[in-house]
């Protein structure tokens, strides 16, 4: 791997933005300096930003490729490669693919095993251009969740387990009218009787299984030393449960009060970048911008729109109260550290050379180049 020198760049460092240069060798950042070096061997970045590759903790994007329409399943290997290319083009160099275990609706369910096998095969074949890891979303009301989850715990690259409960009437789906609209959009329209029967069925599953399975998943995470995330917390009792479980991350809190409580309890608050870009939640939950204004936002996830992560960082970076260096940390260094990655997430000597060259055109950040482990991939 040939040495690379990026010159005439605006480097986004952990606490500041400087005009300078960065040298890469053997896949690692070797030197950082201010000013220009004017070497004929250097890549002239023409004043563009150079920042760390984005770190994504919860992308649902793979599911969109696996199931492009309700009931229309796509081959896992092909879906994975298309997903990889899309993340690369969005500047995401490390991705935790959020894969559901225990999805109750057969029309929407994706069997995790073929997906994880395809991921292992693609790694072995060198068919992936970014670093893919795994985030297993554990649906607690699922009757046989432990049996489904246990065989997946030896998955290479498993970095995170999250405690999920999508039972209607609470958390993300506390508003039943919105839940009904969501179900209809996903091909699950029902008449009033069928809708009520569906809700009662899901609530029975929760009553029978969720508490027991919460304990099982927590025990599995502790045994394997895996970090845990809570999800869609909508009540202070949910934060208390997350703290008791030893969770590190509070994903997508539903309201400001739970986000503030999560942060006060030492959890990293993760919100959706699409929420911030759009100016609000598509499901009626708290706006990510309100979390940021309240000082209750630590990290962002692209969730269902890969391109939102970089755009959200630059939008937040324009806030005088936050600034670009801190906003970029929300999509690089902070999520990396939250799950134990200490070799990436910032421009620092000795860390992986996962880097982006970004030009801002008409107020929009545009990816010009992506290096993953010092190798140009885009």
Question: 313-351 pLDDT, tens per residue?
Answer: 999 999 999 999 999 999 999 999 999 999 999 999 999
49 within 8 A of 9, measured Cβ to Cβ? yes
Between 142 and 191, the more confident residue is: 142
> Where do we find the tokens 């995470």?
221
Q: What is the pLDDT of residues 3-16, one digit of tens each?
A: 999 999 999 999 99
Q: Please, what are the domains in the chain?
A: 1-52+344-378 (2.30.40.10), 54-343 (3.20.20.140)
Distances (CA, A) of 88 to 105, 131, 311, 376: 31, 10, 15, 11
167 within 8 A of 198, measured Cβ to Cβ? no
**Is the entire prediction scored with pTM above 0.75?**
yes
């Amino acid at each position: 791997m040939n040495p690379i020198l990026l010159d005439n760049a605006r480097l986004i460092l952990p606490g500041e933005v400087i005009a300078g240069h960065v040298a890469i060798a053997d896949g690692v950042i070797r030197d950082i300096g201010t000013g220009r070096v004017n070497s004929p061997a250097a890549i002239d970045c023409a004043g563009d930003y150079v920042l760390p590759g984005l770190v994504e903790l919860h992308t649902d994007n793979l599911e969109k490729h696996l199931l492009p329409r309700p009931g229309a399943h796509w081959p896992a290997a092909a879906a994975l490669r298309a997903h990889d290319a899309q993340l690369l083009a969005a500047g995401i160099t490390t991705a935790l693919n959020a894969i559901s275990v225990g999805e109750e609706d057969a029309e929407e369910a994706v069997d995790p095993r073929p997906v994880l096998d395809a991921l292992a095969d693609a790694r072995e074949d060198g068919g992936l251009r970014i670093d893919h890891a795994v985030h297993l979303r554990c649906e607690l009301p699922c009757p046989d969740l432990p049996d489904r989850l246990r065989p997946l715990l030896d998955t290479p690259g498993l970095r995170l387990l999250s405690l999920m409960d999508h039972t209607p009437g609470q958390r993300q789906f506390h508003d039943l009218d919105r839940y009904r609209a969501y179900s209809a959009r996903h091909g699950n329209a029902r008449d009033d009787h069928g809708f009520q029967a569906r809700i009662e069925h899901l609530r029975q599953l929760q009553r029978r299984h969720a508490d027991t399975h919460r304990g099982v998943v927590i025990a599995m995470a502790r045994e394997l030393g895996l970090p845990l995330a809570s999800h869609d917390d909508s009540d202070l009792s949910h934060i208390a449960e997350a703290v008791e479980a030893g969770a590190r991350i509070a994903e997508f809190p539903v309201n400001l009060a739970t986000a503030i409580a999560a942060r006060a309890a030492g959890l990293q608050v993760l919100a959706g970048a699409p929420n911030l870009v759009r100016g609000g939640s598509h499901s009626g939950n708290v706006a990510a911008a309100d979390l940021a204004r309240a000082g209750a936002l630590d990290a962002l996830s692209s969730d269902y729109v890969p391109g939102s992560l970089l755009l959200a960082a630059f939008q937040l970076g324009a806030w005088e109260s936050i600034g670009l260096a801190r906003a970029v940390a929300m999509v690089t260094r902070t999520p990396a550290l939250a799950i134990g990655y200490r070799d990436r997430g910032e421009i620092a000597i000795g860390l992986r050379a996962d880097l982006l060259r970004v030009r801002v055109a008409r107020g929009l950040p545009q990816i010009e180049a992506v290096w993953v482990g010092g190798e140009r991939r885009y």
